[in-house]
Amino acid sequence: MGELATSAVAGDVLVSLGLGSCIGLALLDRRLGVAGLAHVVLPSSGGNAPLGSWKFADYAVPELVDRVVKLGARRPMLEAVLVGGASMFAVSKSSLEVGQRNEAAVRELLREQHINVIAKETGGSRGRTIRVYVGSNKVTVKEAGGTEKPLIAGASVVAA
Amino acid sequence: MTRYTDTQLDALRELANIGSGTASTALSGMLGKSVDISVPNAFVLPMAEAVGSIGDPESDSTGVVLGIVGEMPGSVLLLFTPKDAELMCGLLGVEAGSEYGISALMEIGNIVGASYINALGQMIGMELEPTPPAAATDMLGAIVQSVLAERAGAGDVALLLDSDLVVEGEDCSVSFLLVPDQGGVEQMLERLGV
C-alpha cells in the first residue's frame, strides 16, 4: 500500500496484490518498454502530508510520471492502466466513496498530465490483482478465485 | 514513523486480550461451545507491510467489519478462512456461501465485534458504539486494504491488534483486528497511562 515501483528491465513483473478500494495505476511507454506501478490508497493528502506519502493520489501520480521519465520513458508516449477502486463492503457507504474517489482523483491527475487511460477494470465490489510485465507490455488483472486475464495483450517489443 | 515502546505495546496487547476474552464469551454463548483465545499480537507497521503480515493477500477470506463511532473512531475486522467460515456456519446449522451463511457470519461478527468494542470502551473509559456489520468474501488483501484505507487517514503506520478465537474441539477459529483511526492509539495509551 502506498508504494511505487518502476522498471525498464524486460522480464520484470510489477504487481499489486489484492487491491480493494485502492487503485493500481500502471504507466507505460510501450515502445521503449518502460513501466511503473503505483498503489494509491487515498485520493488526496489535503496538502499537508510529508514528502514520500505516495499513498495519496496527488503525491503518487506526479511522482510516478517523474520516475518513469527518469528511466527513459517519453512523457508524450505515456499511457495509463487503472485497476481497483472497488467498494468491498456493500453496506458501508464510506468505503464505497473511497474507491470511487480514488479513481476520480487518479483520472483527474492523469488528465492534467495529458496521459490517456487505455484500459481499466475498476469499480464493482471485487478485489483485484494487477500485474505489469515490463518489456512485453502485457498488463493483466485477476479477481479472487479467477484467472489472470490480459487488459493489454502486449507485444514482444524488446527494450531499446 | 510513529514508534511505540515495549511497555506501550504490552499495554495494547493487554487491551486486546481483555477485549477478546469478552468476545470469546459472547461467541461461546452463541455457538454453545467453549471458545479459547490466543495471546494477541500488537503490530505497529508501515501500511505497505501491514497486509502481508496478516496473510497471503490473494488468499480467499470472508471479512466482517464493524465501525466504531464515539470518542475513538475505528474499525473492528473479523476474518474467516473458507474452512473456518464453513465450520462456523455448520455449527449454526446453515450452509456457508449461501445467503444464510453470510448472514450467520455477520451475526457472529456483530456479537463478537460489539462485545469487543464494549469491553474496550469500558477499559479506556470512552463512549464507543459499534455500527452494523458489513461483509465481503474476497481476497484477503482487498478486504484488509479497504479497511485500512478508510481508517488510516494521514498516517503511514497501522496498528493492528490481532487476536484469535478458537472453538474447542472444532479446529476452527476467527481472527480479528482492531484498526483505530489516526491518533486513536495515542488516545488509548493516554487513557491507560503508559
Q: Residue ranges per domain, chain B?
A: 6-192
Q: Which residue of A has its CA nearest to B57?
A: A18
Radius of gyration in angstroms for the set of CA atoms belonging to chain A, rounded to a whole number: 15
Q: Which residues of B touch A (CB under 8 A)?
A: 47-48, 50-51, 57-58, 60, 63, 65, 67, 132-150, 152-154, 156
Q: Cβ A92–B141 below 8 Å, yes or no?
A: no
Amino acid of residue B177: L
Distance between CA B95 and CA B85 in Å, rounded?
A: 10
Q: Cβ B138–A53 below 8 Å, yes or no?
A: no
Q: Which residues of chain B have pLDDT under 50?
A: 1
Cell of B145: 486494504
Cell of B166: 478458537
pLDDT at B153: 66
DSSP assignment of B114-180, as one string? Answer: HHHHHHHHHHHT--EEEPPPEEEEEEHHHHHHHHHHHHHTT-SEEEEEEEEEEETTTTEEEEEEEEE
Q: Cβ A17–B57 below 8 Å, yes or no?
A: yes
Q: Cβ A19–B145 below 8 Å, yes or no?
A: yes
**Chain centroid, CA B172 distance in Å:** 16
Cell of A63: 511522482
The residues pairing with A140 across neighbouring beta strands, listed in sequence order, are A131, A150
Q: Please, what sign has the CA dihedral across residues A117, A121, A123, A128?
A: negative
Q: Which of B47, B58, B134 sits opposite A91 (nearest CB)?
A: B134
Element (H, E) at A128: strand A128-133
Q: Which of B48, B60, B142 sits opposite A86 (nearest CB)?
A: B142
For the stretch A104-150, pLDDT in tens is 999 999 999 999 999 999 999 999 999 999 999 999 999 988 999 99
Chain A hits for B147, CB-CB cut-off 8 Å, are: 95
pLDDT at A157: 52
pLDDT at A159: 45
Distance between CA B124 and CA B194 in Å, rounded?
A: 12
The residues pairing with A16 across neighbouring beta strands, listed in sequence order, are A130
Other beta carbons less than 10 A from residue A15's beta carbon? 17
Cα three-residue angle B38-B40-B44, rounded to 5 degrees: 155
Amino acid of residue B137: T
Q: Which of A3, A20, A91 sits opposite B142 (nearest CB)?
A: A20
pLDDT at A117: 97
Catalytic residue among A14, A22, A98, A130: A22
What CATH number should be reported for the domain whose range is B6-192?
3.40.1550.10
**Is A22 assigned a catalytic role?**
yes
Distance between CA B5 and CA B80 in Å, rounded?
A: 31
Is A148 strand, coil or helix?
Answer: coil
Q: Which residue of A has its CA nearest to B147?
A: A95
Distance in Å, alpha carbon of B93 to nearest chain A alpha carbon: 25
Q: Cβ A20–B57 below 8 Å, yes or no?
A: no
Cell of B85: 467460515
Q: Cβ A127–B142 below 8 Å, yes or no?
A: yes
pLDDT at A29: 96
Element (H, E) at A36: strand A34-40
Determine phi and psi for B74, rounding to 5 degrees: 175, -160
Q: How far from A80 is each of A92, A111, A118, B99, B145, CA to CA, in Å?
A: 29, 11, 6, 38, 22
Q: Cβ A49–B154 below 8 Å, yes or no?
A: yes
pTM, to two decimals: 0.89
Contacts of B176 (CB under 8 A, 6+ apart): B20, B23, B76, B77, B78, B79, B112, B113, B116, B162, B163, B165
Chain B hits for A19, CB-CB cut-off 8 Å, are: 141-142, 145
For the stretch A32-88, pLDDT in tens is 999 999 999 999 988 777 777 899 999 999 999 999 999 999 999 999 999 999 999
**Chain centroid, CA A145 distance in Å:** 22
For the stretch B69-79, pLDDT in tens is 999 898 999 99
Cα–Cα nearest to B64, from B100, B110, B25: B110
Q: Which residue of A has its CA nearest to B51?
A: A1
Distance between CA A43 and CA B160 in Å, rounded?
A: 23
Chain B hits for A59, CB-CB cut-off 8 Å, are: none
Q: Cβ A18–B136 below 8 Å, yes or no?
A: no
Q: Which long-range contacts (CB under 8 A, 24 or more apart) does A143-146 make?
A: A143/B139, A144/B58, A144/B60, A144/B137, A144/B138, A144/B139, A144/B142, A145/B60
- Best mutation site among A45, A51, A89, A147 for testing chain B: the one with the most B CBs within 10 Å? A89
